[in-house]
Amino acid sequence: MSQSPAPRRRTGAYVAIAAIVAAAGGAFAWTAGWLTPDRLTAARMTDAIEATSTTPYPGFRRAHAKGICVVGHFDGTPDGAALSRAHVFAATGTPLLGRLSIGGGSPYGLDAQARVRSMALVLRGADGSEWRMAMNSFPFFGAASIETFLEQTRASAPDPATGKPDPARMAAFAAQHPEAQRFAAWAKSAPWSDSFANTQYNGIHAYRFTGERGAQLVRWSMRPQAPFVEMTPAQRDAAEGDYLQNELRARLAAGPLRWDMVATIAGAGDDVSDPSTPWPDEREQVVVGTVVLTEAQDQATGACRDLNFDPTIVPTGVALSDDPILAARAAVYAQSFDRREREVARGADVDGTPPPETAR
């Protein structure tokens, strides 16, 4: 009996497998931008962020490179449980790991000179859920789209001749983008707090909470219970390089620090897909929980060092909005995380100890 059909069937199977592999490879290449060299990708966005630093720092985050790990817990409230069925709102004592940081790509930046401060958290519910958050001290984003953010990032890259951004290039970008002008006005006029502990951190993106009240779009902020104290320009100039970290440790030595998590509910006409658009102050606000920090750790050895604070990882009861910048952040975070983890594996120094010429 002839056996010829079997090889043909096997050949057909091989062709099908090859087609699947080719298609997968093609999709991967498209995602990486190999087939469309002008398309914006996570790698290109990360490259642009890296280019804003005059010196590469292998093993560190590409943005907010200087930070400190924190440990604590989250206490939900009944109002939070009514707004979202996420387990953390119905519980108290949910463990959290986090990181407080300053803006910029240098792990040796001067704490008191950084305009932007950040809080990143991972909440791990008893039901196995995980919620990752990434928040900043600015109340809204400075770009209305990821393409605009790329343009802004490239415009702020240092001029090789001066080592600083070109003011004319920055001004030309701002002239074309009202949201960048709005952000610059905030950066110029908003008072500077004198501590990580009395800084408000804002989520800026909209998320969909689903609970007893149905589905509602919200933005949240972490509002400090510590009273606000303004830090003057003279005080900032006189402060030591690690001022914010040292001041935080001193506060924690005296007791826990707390922030109320406040959800602002979107109203009619609020833009829920553009994080550069502020919402009116009169929107309904609900205290959904409290962040309690009890301990600080060096980022080189602390539990936060190898965490990717991807803001798209959310629990049941919380869902992403249609904000395209939110999705783009996840992709860039992953790209940055992969790069630095490879560098750490190759032995990059991540202790964050400044060389003598930058110490202060």
Q: How far is CA 19 from CA 10, 15, 26, in A?
A: 14, 6, 10
d(CA 203, CA 27): 32
d(CA 233, CA 185): 17
Q: Taking a C-beta distance cutoff of 8 angstroms, is the pair 119, 68 a contact?
A: no
d(CA 300, CA 307): 12
d(CA 306, CA 313): 16
Told to judge if 64 belongs to the known catalytic residues of this protein, a careful annotator would answer: yes
- Write the DSSP string, 140-188: S-S-SSHHHHHHHHHHTSBPTTTSSB-HHHHHHHHHH-HHHHHHHHHHH
Q: What SS3 class is residue 347?
A: coil
Q: Which of 64, 73, 87, 205 is catalytic?
A: 64
Tokens of 273: 């897909």
d(CA 205, CA 192): 23
**Which residues are marked as active site?**
64
